[in-house]
Structure 1
Amino acid sequence: MRRNLLPVLALLCGTLFLFLGNGLQGLLLPVRGSQEGYSNEVLGLLGTTWASGFVIGCFVAPNVVRRIGHVRAFSGFLSLICLNVLLTGLLVDQNTWLVLRAITGFCTAGTSMIIESWLNERATPENRGTIFSFYISITLLGVVGGQLMVPLADVATATLFMVCGILYSIAALPTTLSKAASPQPLKRARLDLKALFRNSPISCIGILLIGTANGAYGTLGAVFGTRAGLDNGAVAAMVSITIFAGAIMQFPAGRLSDRMDRRYVLAGLSAAAALAGLAIVAIRPADVYGIVVLVAIYGAAANALYPIAVAHANDFAAPEDFVKVSGGLLLLFGIGTIIGPTLGGPVMTWAGPYALFSVTAGAHALVAIYAILRARKRAPVPAADRGAYTTAAASTAPHVTPESLSLDPRAASETQPGR
């Protein structure tokens, strides 16, 4: 284990600090924005602009890296992120925040793609699975760890924004000081909607809807908690428990999907997420424990959906198409995260904070219905011919890019003979 991770340990440490900053900033902004009296629409647009910048970055950032190299591009992207978060703490203005958030999303795509390509360059067929699993764990640990920093200082001051800047500055050190050769040029992400839909309609439509639900909750969950009367510590715990519950649920859900038609597992989990969301809307729990329990159930079901939908699409795809299919689905997920907060903000303004979960419930209900309809129209791939289920970081940590797909052990197996 130690031998496998030692060559990339410094890079993984930098990754941890990058995602600590991402997690802290992602929760700090909606909490501070709520205190400043920003409308639900504006707070939703913070997520929309970030996701838009991130998706654009997946297409454009590789060209930047090709022009100036990995190390200089990484340093430049991180410098802009650090500058943006410090300006966000100094210039408390909603329009300024929206512009800065879009730039941050773009730069986050660039930094993530560089880290993922660097890890992939150092990975071998023997240690690829270990590095991939460790990378996913670090992204989750970093996001949750950053979120849990919010209660440690007064969000009304610039302190936590400065802490964010420190974390991003530390994240730059391992790669800028490394003597290792730069990895190969980044690949362009391709999105072929027609091919995706022909391959698996439920994966194509389902992941778009899953991204819509996850984007709405990921951006506005903290706003919901604040509007529902929770303090900052309870809001951080609520958001973090969603990620933890989803990470734990991926393993039993994946095992079940390997044994039966994945579409029925997708329908069952989507129905569970929809029911949990509707329960929050109907019960409107006033105490933190009731909210956390229901949100944990929601997170366990909602965050297990993405990897099952990806696995189903790959069941019908040729082995050599894994990266192309999964990369397109990841970008569809990103488009969904643009739609979710844009829709969720006005709904919360019109019907109250608990109505956020009516948006997620609607998206999950559509996934469940469509999955059942598709299961009746197309026979499943026999269990013996399916690819093995693999957890996917995008479900619980929305900062991964199509470049991360090259780290997946399934991508490496495409070039192996006899596959």
Structure 2
Amino acid sequence: MAGALASFSALFFGIALMMAGNGLQGSLLGLRASIEGFETGVLGIVMSGYFVGFLAGSLYAPRVVSKVGHIRVFAALASLASISILVHSVFIDPWVWGGMRIVTGFCYAGLYIVCESWLNDMSDNANRGKLLSIYMVVQMGALSGGQYLLGVSDPSGANLFMLIAVLVSLAVLPLCLSASRTPDFSAPEAMSFRELFRLSPLGSAGMVLAGITNGALFGFGAVYAQRAGFTVTEISTFMAAMFLGGMLLQWPIGRMSDKMDRRLVILFVTIAAAIVATGAALIPEPAPLTMQPGGEERVIWPILAAAALFGGLSIPHYSLFTAHVNDRVPIRKMVAASSALIFLNGAGAIVGPNLAALIMGFAGPSGFFITLAGVHAVIGLMTGMRMLRRASARPTDQADFVAMPLRGTQIASQMPDGWGPDDVEEISDDDGEPAIHMLDDEDPEDEISDKGNSVIP
């Protein structure tokens, strides 16, 4: 494993630089737009542009990579991403910013696809799951660390925009100078949304709702903090706390979901997230507290603790719903299902900033956490209803949980150990009858059966 990590060091270093720039950019734009007086509704549209571009990039970038090659695509997209962030500093206009956010999202989707396909190709079945977990840690850690770059310079100036461009440009160097071979690449096959919903209604709808919460967190977290009166350093800490919480609780929650009914874990975690978000919405905006003559300290630890706990409970939903879908989808269709899940999650992420903007327009800054609490309440209600409709699978019959990055692509989704035609198996229920039949390519019927009935998770 140590040798594999050494060979991936250049790739992980490039990813860290790229994600630090991305983390800084998301918070900077939300903060700067508020400083410039963008209306809340307009700001929601601007911030959702990233997810529009990311969704488009997830669909079309693989075709470009297969025709042009990894290094050329990576260098071109990194250059375009650097240009787009600099345009923000020149033209302070919501229409320009919205367009540039779409360009940025498209570029980052392509950059992720290149990095993840490299990671997938250079790994093997023995270490793919571990490397994907490390990839998640690098991504989330760099996102968190990038938040603290907000304090390097005045957000109302152009310096931070230039810093982001430098970070993204530097991310090209480790990869372009690496001696590793470029991977073979083939775009993943597709699965219809109708088929995916038939196989896993909960997983399909849950992915949309998880996208809404992630879109709101990433696109509007800094906006909430700025309008709640946080300083730049406090905004950085607030955003970093959410990402770090998500990184730290991925494994405990995932391990728990492997040992018991996964839907019960989803229900418990999402209800807890809704309760934490509700509590955060009720916490008064931090007021200054005089600690000593001539000095003041803001009391923000309650909201920071709530942000870290909420991030830890909310961010793993992407991985939980991915694992739940894998419990229901035939082995040979998992890669195709991952592409559909990426699309559903991206569609939800587009809605997230706009929904947060709408509710904050009525409720003020607390509307941010009200939005998150409401979405998780819907997830909990939906999960409870599905549990009443069908009995649970045995924990031993479930697919293994794999910690997924917050904004990964379909390439990362196909990396977990054991995915392939050789993994076809038949899982039986307590009566010894087939509960879930993983079909191979020669089976005549393309469906999963539960004693003759269609599976409804």
| Structure 1 and Structure 2 fold alike (TM over 0.5) | yes
Name the structure with the higher helix share.
1
Contact 1:189/1:402 (8 A) holds in 2: no
Q: Given the superposition, is the C-alpha separation of residues 260 and 418 from structure 1 closer, same or farther in structure 2, using an over 3 Å criterion? A: closer
Cα distance in structure 2, aligned partners of 1:36 and 1:202: 41
Letter in 2 for 1:211: G
Cα distance in structure 1, aligned partners of 2:423 and 2:193: 30
Partner of 2:197: 197
Question: What are the within-5 Å matches in structure 2 for residues 322-337 of structure 1?
Answer: 322-337=334-349
**How far apart are residue 238 of structure 1 and its match?**
0.8
Question: What are structure 2's unaligned runs of at least 5 residues?
Answer: 287-298, 426-457
Structure 1 stretches of 4+ with a deviation exceeding 3 A read: 178-181, 415-419
Letter in 2 for 1:16: A
Question: What are the within-5 Å matches in structure 2 for residues 214-225 of structure 1?
Answer: 214-225=214-225
* Candidates 299, 314, 335, aligned match of 1:302: 314
**How far apart are residue 98 of structure 1 and its match?**
0.8
Partner of 1:80: 80
Partner of 1:344: 356
Partner of 1:16: 16
Letter in 2 for 1:73: V
* Candidates 374, 387, 405, aligned match of 1:362: 374
Q: Given the superposition, is the C-alpha separation of residues 193 and 37 from structure 1 closer, same or farther in structure 2, using an over 3 Å criterion? A: same
Listed one character per residue, the Cα deviations across residues 359-404 of structure 1 (whole Å, up to 9, x for unaligned) are 11111111101111110111111122112222121xxx22x11111
Cα distance in structure 2, aligned partners of 1:45 and 1:186: 34
Structure 2 residue 197 is the aligned partner of structure 1 residue 185: no
Contact 1:58/1:189 (8 A) holds in 2: no
Listed one character per residue, the Cα deviations across residues 263-303 of structure 1 (whole Å, up to 9, x for unaligned) are 12111111111112222223334241221122222212112
Q: Given the superposition, is the C-alpha separation of residues 181 and 300 from structure 1 closer, same or farther in structure 2, using an over 3 Å criterion? A: closer
Question: What are the within-5 Å matches in structure 2 for residues 22-41 of structure 1?
Answer: 22-41=22-41
Give the SS at the match of 1:409.
coil
Q: Which has the higher contact order (CA 8 A, sep 6+)?
A: 1
Q: Between 3-12 and 195-204, report the one with greater CA deviation.
A: 3-12
* Candidates 384, 387, 400, aligned match of 1:388: 400
**How far apart are residue 410 of structure 1 and its match?**
4.0
Contact 1:14/1:172 (8 A) holds in 2: yes
Structure 2 residue 212 is the aligned partner of structure 1 residue 212: yes
Name the structure with the higher strand share.
2
Cα distance in structure 1, aligned partners of 2:192 and 2:199: 11
Question: What are structure 1's unaligned runs of at least 5 residues?
Answer: none
Q: Between 93-102 and 1-10, report the one with greater CA deviation.
A: 1-10
- TM-score w.r.t. length of structure 1: 0.94
**How far apart are residue 335 of structure 1 and its match?**
0.9
Cα distance in structure 1, aligned partners of 2:125 and 2:261: 30
Q: Given the superposition, is the C-alpha separation of residues 147 and 375 from structure 1 closer, same or farther in structure 2, using an over 3 Å criterion? A: same
Contact 1:227/1:353 (8 A) holds in 2: yes
Letter in 1 for 2:99: V
Cα distance in structure 2, aligned partners of 1:220 and 1:418: 43
Q: Between 76-85 and 383-392, report the one with greater CA deviation.
A: 383-392
Contact 1:148/1:233 (8 A) holds in 2: yes
Q: Given the superposition, is the C-alpha separation of residues 317 and 77 from structure 1 closer, same or farther in structure 2, using an over 3 Å criterion? A: same
Cα distance in structure 1, aligned partners of 2:171 and 2:101: 19
Structure 2 residue 412 is the aligned partner of structure 1 residue 404: yes
Structure 2 residue 323 is the aligned partner of structure 1 residue 311: yes
Aligned length: 413
Cα distance in structure 1, aligned partners of 2:46 and 2:356: 12
Contact 1:24/1:149 (8 A) holds in 2: yes
- TM-score w.r.t. length of structure 2: 0.86
What percent of counterpart residues are identical? 32
Q: Between 195-204 and 127-136, report the one with greater CA deviation.
A: 127-136
Q: Given the superposition, is the C-alpha separation of residues 191 and 43 from structure 1 closer, same or farther in structure 2, using an over 3 Å criterion? A: farther
Cα distance in structure 1, aligned partners of 2:278 and 2:424: 48
Q: Given the superposition, is the C-alpha separation of residues 139 and 410 from structure 1 closer, same or farther in structure 2, using an over 3 Å criterion? A: farther
RMSD: 1.7
